[in-house]
């Protein structure tokens, strides 16, 4: 049967169902908070140091004001997410202000994302360099440094902070570049663990600092009056020679606020995790917003104050301005060794959270560029998957190239990096908030929550709250344009260059896509569906799902087609369009989902099916995690088995474990299925996914049958089934395990496990039945009571 002649719609073209909703694994608000705080919390390590360098000792007041204001900004994100499930900057600005300004806002956001990496990497490097230098200095003080080394370095050996920071930042960036090229999964588990460790540090830091304050006393930082704001030579930028900042107190406040605004970078992540939040989504989003707001307020806000109160001015500004928390650790009361040990802990936590932020920057930038690329505003060339790993390596290369360039040009100067970073942060917030304001009048769809307060005058809504937030952000962004000359020049150049690339690419792509669409229409017919359903794909239950990714390794599809009678059992070829953390925040269209690559992949699949004279159904699903996508698709399509090829990165057992883990995290109800992994040499490993009937030994079956024969002879037990005996036996076993003979049972099972065989049932391809449908456990059946069979996968795929 030719694949091209059996389209359910009667067309000559092969029909491809393209699902547009990304298949996600939903997470709790704690995990969501951890993901965001990995970015938001990391700014505590450098924000106050940078602000103090710019405006002097009253900087903590501004940082505190920024952290307070961040509560208001997160309200904007809550409202945008209540309107669009994918409520990031690009989507909101595009809806409100159109494509041109959306491209401009994405350029500013990219500037923010790309700088997150260098600023975090360099900051971590500064903490490490500071720790090494201070440890050497203390060792030298105790005479532990040999005289020869002392002589060689003409004094105490010291590492150059900036050079060390650059080397470290480059190393970390390259490490995460390679991890992203390979396609590491974003793990909320890992983020949660990092935040747990960070919380231990924060509790110790705050507790010990307050104890120190009680012991030695301290003074609050000077209030932010014009007299107390001391501008550095760099902090006034284009207003260096102007009298305005020294004349108007309000300008001093805005300048100070503008220099501290980077403390709330990372709020955009709120929109990106929203899609993955578990039900009830909006309530959980609010909980997430509260958690991140309180955490960053306490961490970033209080640490800024404590640092200024506890570290002497000359030491703080000269030694610890780039590693303020380390300085705080060294100025607690207590033995020097203990303080040094705590500082080492601070550095370890800093390393974890800041290097995590480097990864977040790469993943986030990749997500945003993927999104705009899929929207046709970046050349398709960038999106072509890596030959081996299937990742968008060209986009990752571009991002990491820009980050490395930034690190080297700044040469470890955290102040310059932070100042530039603030440009992207504040302008992306401005675009977002102004767009939300416009959408109050233009958007007519569902909006579950609004930033309060709102009044109505003559039937017209006046969004006081939203307008207020927009005014503060806009005033700050305008003043920043004058006071942050490096950020303004570099930010504008970067944004304009990216904007031009986007605009030019869009024009080229529009022509190319028109041509491709015409070509594609000759071969494939795309049918868009919001979600994957068996009825939509037009297949029967009990089908075989064949996940494909690399068009050069489709042996498993050949294997399935060779053994499947497609008149009896449908074969669905599915590819998961991996959508990384970040890109899940954006909507996807069929054209975005079905790129040149998918076209080539399915052309090969159809060609193979035609060579067997069999029909296959084709499916594209977007997914955050391909394993989860396979499990969810198998569930939705009521597939009895999944036949996958061998991964280039994993063993068959690891693949099965990944599918099993995805199955475990899938919400109920869920179906069991058989996973078959076909290796290039034709060997097949079979795994049962989900709870399933165990394979019973022959002697156990005989024992069961004998018991059944004996029991049915008892008066009144003639109608007992085999499963009744198993139920009774298992109930007694559970009772014994729970109460009486736990230790004896465990010992016996351990003895048996030592003699057990591997879980996979390995056999050659030739021994597989003519259908990939696995044989059910017939050993448990007897002809008399066939309906008693436990829930092994059945021929019709029903449970």
Partner 1 sequence: MLATQQNLEQNFSRIGYYNEVTVSVVLVKILEVMFVAGWAGSAIVLLLTGFEDVETLLDREDENSH
Unique residue bearing structure tokens 């059992």: 569
CA angle in degrees (0–180, nearest 5) for 639-642-647: 155
Cβ atoms of 357 and 36 within 8 Å: the answer is no
Please say which residue, 291 or 309, places its beta carbon nearer to partner 1: 291
Cβ nearer to partner 1, comparing 379 with 472: 472
30, 203, 227, 260, 685 from 307: Cα distances, Å:
29, 15, 21, 15, 59
Least Cβ distance, residue 480 to partner 1 (angstroms): 11
Judged by beta carbon, residue 105 or residue 284, the one nearer partner 1 is 284
Evaluate whether 543 touches 637 at the Cβ level (below 8 Å): yes
Helix (H) or strand (E) holding 431: helix 414-442
Rounded least distance, CB 581 to partner 1, Å: 19
Q: Is 777 left (phi over 0), alpha (psi -120 to 50) or beta?
A: beta
Q: Taking the complex as a whole, how short is the minimal distance between the CB of residue 246 and partner 1, in angstroms?
A: 12
Residue indicated by tokens 């390596």: 393
Question: Of 267 and 638, which CB lies nearer to partner 1 in the complex structure?
Answer: 267
Contacts of 67 (CB under 8 A, 6+ apart): 263, 264, 296, 297, 300, 301
Binding residues vs partner 1 (CB under 8 A)? 28-30, 68-69, 71-72, 75, 244, 248, 250-251, 253-254, 257, 278-280, 283-284, 286-287, 290, 451-453, 464-465, 467-476, 478-479
Alpha-carbon span 473 to 467, nearest angstrom:
10
Nearer to partner 1, 103 or 450 (CB): 450
Find the shortest distance in angstroms from Cβ 677 to partner 1. 30
Q: Which is nearer to partner 1, 28 or 647 (CB)?
A: 28
305 closest CA partner among 222, 231, 417, 199: 222
345: left (phi over 0), alpha (psi -120 to 50) or beta: alpha
CB of 248 to partner 1, least distance (A): 5
We find the least distance from the C-beta atom of residue 270 to partner 1, in angstroms, to be: 14
CB nearer to partner 1: pick between 312 and 452: 452
Task: Name the residue nearer to partner 1 (CB basis): 174 or 250.
Answer: 250
CB of 299 to partner 1, least distance (A): 18
Q: What is the smallest separation between the CB atom of 735 and partner 1, expressed in angstroms? A: 29
> Closer to partner 1 at the Cβ: 6 or 28?
28
User: Apex CA 492: angle with CA 76 and CA 369, to 5°?
Assistant: 60
Q: Edge to edge, what strands does the sheet with 684-689 contain?
A: 524-529, 14-19, 617-623, 571-578, 544-547, 641-645, 673-678, 684-689, 761-763
CA separation for the pair 43, 306 (Å, rounded): 16
Residue number, 271 or 292, with CB nearest to partner 1: 292
Pick between residue 195 and residue 451 the one whose CB is nearest to partner 1: 451
**Beta carbon of residue 457, minimum distance to partner 1 (angstroms, whole number):** 16
| Cis amide prior to 453 (ω within 30 degrees) | yes
Question: Residue for token digits 């969810």?
Answer: 632
Residue of 26, 191, 19, 16 whose CA lies nearest to 628: 26
Whichever of 171 and 244 has its CB closer to partner 1, that residue is 244
For partner 1, the closer CB: 275 or 577: 275
What are residue 529's phi and psi, to 5 degrees? -135, 140
**To the nearest whole angstrom, how small is the minimum distance from the Cβ of residue 169 to partner 1?**
35
Helices (H), 98-160: 99-141, 147-152
Query: In this structure, what token pair is assigned to residue 95?
Result: 């809806």
Residue 60: CB minimum distance to partner 1, A:
18
**How many other C-beta atoms lie within 10 A of the C-beta of residue 677?**
24
Q: How far is CA 720 from CA 273, 666, 717, 730, in A?
A: 53, 36, 5, 16
DSSP, collapsed to helix, strand or coil, labels residue 454 as coil
Q: Least distance (Å) from partner 1 to the CB of residue 251?
A: 6
Q: Nearest approach, Cβ of 475 to partner 1 (angstroms)?
A: 4
* Closest CB to partner 1 among residues 101, 474: 474
User: Least distance in Å: CB of 55 to partner 1?
Assistant: 16
CA distance 462 to 437: 10
Please, which residue, 266 or 463, has the CB nearer to partner 1? 463
d(CA 424, CA 106): 10
Q: Which residues of 112-140 are buried (b: 16+ CB within 10 A; e: fewer)?
A: bbbbbbbbbbbbbbbbbbbbbbbebeeeb
CB 185, min distance to partner 1, A: 18
Q: Measure the CA–CA gap between 419 and 487, rounded to whole angstroms.
A: 6
Which one, 69 or 168, has the nearer CB to partner 1?
Answer: 69
Q: Least distance to partner 1 from the beta carbon of 220, Å?
A: 21
Q: Compute the distance between CA of residue 323 and CA of residue 235 in angstroms, rounded to an integer.
A: 20
Least distance (Å) from partner 1 to the CB of residue 260?
Answer: 14
CA distances from 151 to 142, 157, 451 (A): 16, 9, 65
CB of 32 to partner 1, least distance (A): 10
DSSP 23: B
Residue 70 vs 792, nearer CB to partner 1: 70
Q: Which of 546, 602, 601 is nearest to 570 (CA)?
A: 546
Select 245 or 390, whichever has its Cβ closest to partner 1: 245
Q: Is the CB of residue 190 less than 8 Å from the CB of residue 359?
A: no
DSSP code string of 351-420: HHHHHHHHHHHHHHHHHHHHHHHHTTSS-GGGGPPPTTT-S-HHHHHHHHHHHHHHHHHHTT-HHHHHHH
């Amino acid at each position: 049967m030719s694949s091209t002649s059996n389209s359910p719609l009667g067309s000559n073209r092969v029909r491809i169902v393209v699902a547009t909703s990304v298949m996600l694994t939903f997470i709790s608000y704690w995990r969501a908070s951890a993901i965001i705080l990995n970015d938001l919390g990391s700014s505590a390590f450098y924000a106050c140091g940078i602000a103090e360098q710019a405006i002097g000792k009253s900087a903590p007041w501004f940082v505190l004001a920024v952290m307070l204001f961040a509560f208001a900004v997160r309200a904007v994100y809550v409202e945008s997410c209540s309107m669009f499930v994918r409520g990031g900057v690009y989507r909101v600005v595009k809806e409100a202000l159109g494509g041109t300004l959306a491209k401009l806002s994405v350029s500013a956001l990219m500037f923010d994302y790309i700088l997150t990496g260098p600023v975090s990497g360099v900051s971590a490097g500064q903490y490490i360099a500071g720790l090494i230098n201070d440890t050497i200095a203390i060792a030298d003080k105790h005479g532990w440094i040999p005289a020869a080394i002392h002589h060689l370095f003409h004094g105490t050996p010291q590492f150059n902070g900036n050079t060390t920071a650059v080397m470290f930042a480059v190393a970390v960036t390259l490490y995460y570049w390679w991890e992203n090229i390979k396609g590491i999964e974003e793990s909320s588990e890992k983020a949660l663990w990092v935040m747990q460790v960070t919380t231990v540090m924060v509790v110790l830091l705050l507790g010990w600092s307050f104890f120190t304050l009680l012991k030695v006393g301290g003074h609050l930082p000077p209030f932010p009056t014009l007299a107390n704001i001391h501008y550095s030579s760099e902090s006034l930028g284009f207003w260096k020679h102007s009298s305005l900042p020294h004349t108007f107190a309000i300008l001093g406040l805005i300048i100070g606020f503008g220099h501290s605004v980077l403390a709330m970078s990372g709020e955009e992540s709120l929109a990106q995790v929203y899609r993955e939040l578990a039900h009830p989504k909006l309530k959980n989003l609010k909980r997430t917003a509260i958690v991140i707001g309180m955490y960053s307020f306490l961490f970033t806000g209080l640490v800024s104050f404590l640092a200024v109160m506890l570290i002497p001015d000359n030491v703080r500004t000269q030694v610890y301005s780039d590693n303020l928390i380390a300085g705080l650790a060294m100025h607690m009361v207590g033995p020097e060794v203990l303080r040094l040990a705590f500082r080492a802990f601070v550095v370890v936590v800093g390393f974890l959270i800041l290097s995590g932020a480097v990864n977040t920057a790469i993943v986030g930038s990749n997500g945003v560029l993927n999104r705009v690329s899929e929207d046709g505003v970046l050349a398709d060339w960038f999106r072509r998957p890596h030959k081996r790993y299937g990742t968008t390596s060209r986009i990752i290369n571009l991002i990491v190239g820009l980050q490395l360039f930034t690190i080297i040009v700044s040469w470890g100067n955290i102040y310059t990096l932070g100042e530039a970073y603030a440009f992207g942060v504040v302008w992306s917030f401005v675009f977002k908030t102004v767009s939300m304001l416009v959408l109050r009048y233009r958007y007519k769809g569902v909006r579950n929550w609004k930033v309060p307060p709102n009044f109505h005058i003559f039937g017209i809504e006046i969004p006081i709250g939203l307008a207020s937030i927009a005014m503060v952000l806009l005033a700050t962004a305008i003043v920043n344009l004058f006071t942050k000359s490096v950020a303004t020049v570099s930010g504008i150049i970067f944004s304009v260059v990216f904007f031009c690339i986007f605009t030019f690419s869009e024009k080229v792509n529009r022509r190319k896509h028109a041509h491709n669409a015409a070509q594609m229409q000759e071969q494939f017919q795309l049918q868009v569906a919001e979600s994957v359903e068996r009825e939509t794909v037009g297949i029967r239950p009990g089908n075989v799902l064949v996940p494909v990714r690399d068009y050069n390794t489709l042996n498993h599809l050949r294997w399935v087609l060779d053994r499947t009678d497609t008149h009896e059992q449908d074969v669905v070829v599915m590819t998961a369009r991996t959508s990384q953390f970040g890109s899940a925040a954006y909507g996807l269209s069929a054209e975005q989902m079905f790129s040149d690559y998918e076209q080539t992949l399915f052309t090969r699949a159809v060609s193979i099916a035609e060579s067997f004279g069999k029909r296959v159904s084709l499916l594209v699903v977007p997914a955050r995690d391909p394993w989860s996508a396979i499990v969810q698709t198998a569930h939705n399509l009521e597939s009895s088995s999944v036949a996958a090829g061998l991964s280039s990165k994993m063993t068959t057992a690891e693949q099965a474990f990944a599918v099993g883990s995805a199955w475990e995290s899938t919400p109920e109800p869920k179906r069991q299925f058989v996973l078959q992994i076909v290796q290039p040499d034709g060997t097949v490993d079979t795994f049962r996914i989900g709870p399933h009937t165990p394979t019973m030994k022959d002697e156990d079956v005989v024992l069961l049958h004998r018991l059944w024969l004996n029991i049915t002879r008892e008066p009144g037990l003639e109608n007992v089934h085999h499963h009744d005996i198993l139920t009774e036996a298992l109930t007694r076993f559970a009772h014994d395990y729970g109460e009486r003979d736990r230790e004896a049972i465990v010992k016996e099972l351990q003895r048996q496990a030592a003699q057990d065989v591997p879980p996979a049932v390995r056999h050659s391809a030739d021994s597989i039945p003519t259908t990939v449908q696995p044989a059910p456990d017939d050993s448990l059946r007897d002809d008399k009571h066939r309906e008693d069979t436990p829930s092994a996968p059945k021929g019709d795929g029903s449970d």
